[in-house]
Amino acid sequence: MSKPKTILVTGTSTGFGSLITRTLLGKGYIVFATMRGLDDKNEKRANELRNFAEGKRGILHLLELDVTDTASVAAAIRQALELEDRIDVAVNNAGFGAGGFCEAFTVDQFQRIFDVNVFGVQRVSRAVLPSMRKHGTGLLINVSSVMGRIVLPFAAPYT
């Protein structure tokens, strides 16, 4: 019997990331669920995922990963590869939006959104691709928003 695929998912503390992780665990995959603040602000959410994983067919590895920090990304990918030797799929899911009057946002606020939603994807992709190339297989899945295709009032930083 072949070993299940290993899948790294970013932004698993809430929303789609948590749902993706739970679905994959139920289907028997090995999941590297990543989030910031495993031992503090997201400790409760991490424990909820741990509890959910008990009795599921899949295997859960919770990893600390901040997509805005290149060293954090590198450390998480290194840890994942030490645990399972490969990452077959990377799901770039971490992201957030902000609403309000365009002129009310500072450049720093815009940069923070871009750092997570755009450059975070690049950091994670850049970190996992060498291993995928080494193994001759791999898949990157970039989760985005319908807000990239439509424009809504008060959503300038996100669209």
Residues involved in catalysis? 158
Q: Please provide residue 91's backbone torsions phi and psi, each rounded to the nearest 5 degrees.
A: -105, 105
Q: Please provide residue 90's backbone torsions phi and psi, each rounded to the nearest 5 degrees.
A: -120, 125
Closest CA to 155 of 99, 96, 95: 99
Q: How many CB atoms lie within 10 A of CB 152?
A: 11
* Residues in CB range of 43: below 8 A, 6 or more apart: 37
Residue 89 in 3-state DSSP? strand
Whether residue 138 contacts residue 89, with contact meaning beta carbons closer than 8 Å, is answered with yes
Residue 21 corresponds to which amino acid? T
**CA dihedral for 122, 126, 127, 133, sign (positive or negative):** positive
